[in-house]
């Protein structure tokens, strides 16, 4: 994680970039201090790498685009979903390993996360679309208090 930044901030910044690029399905992995994104829809082995300085730049650009910070965010957007996932990992005091958003399946699982706990246990969780929406709503309710 970047110093003085939460996973919620980092993943939101990456999510804003993915929205601009039109990427809806992806794998994000941590590699040291970098975040590596592999688009799930690409037939080639394309990768996007975000360094700590890239994240700072993306955060700044995202903040500049948000004209009304008191406005209601779109809780189904990639940036808000990733922000909520980051907040979830932050609350668990975890260390992000991977976030994957794949094509919806019949089982409903569309987002998978892997993280390490403070006790060094590797955790894997899967979220349905309604689970992700619930995470977003809870995060925004907490912020409003």
Residue ranges per structural domain of the chain: 7-144
Q: Are 86 and 8 in contact (CB under 8 A)?
A: yes
pLDDT at residue 20 above 70? yes
pTM for this one?
A: 0.84
pLDDT tens-digit readout, 99-110: 999 877 665 558
> 94 vs 74, which has greater pLDDT?
94
pLDDT tens-digit readout, 130-140: 888 787 778 77
Per-position DSSP letters for 60-84, written without gaps between them: HHHHHH-S-TTSPP-TTSHHHHHHH
Integer Cα distance of 120 and 65 in angstroms: 38
Residue 139 is predicted with a pLDDT of 78
């Amino acid at each position: 994680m970047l110093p003085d930044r939460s996973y919620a901030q980092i993943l939101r910044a990456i999510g804003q970039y993915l929205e601009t690029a039109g990427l809806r399905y992806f794998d994000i992995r941590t590699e040291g201090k970098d975040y590596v994104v592999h688009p799930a829809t690409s037939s080639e082995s394309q990768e996007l790498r975000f360094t700590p300085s890239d994240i700072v730049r993306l955060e700044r650009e995202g903040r500049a685009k948000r004209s009304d910070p008191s406005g209601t965010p779109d809780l189904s957007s990639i940036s808000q979903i990733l922000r909520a996932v980051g907040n979830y990992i932050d609350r668990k005091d975890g260390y992000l390993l991977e976030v994957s958003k794949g094509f919806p399946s019949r089982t409903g699982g569309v987002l998978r996360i892997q993280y390490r706990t403070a006790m060094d246990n590797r955790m894997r969780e899967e979220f349905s679309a309604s689970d992700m929406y619930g995470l977003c709503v809870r995060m925004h309710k907490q912020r409003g208090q």
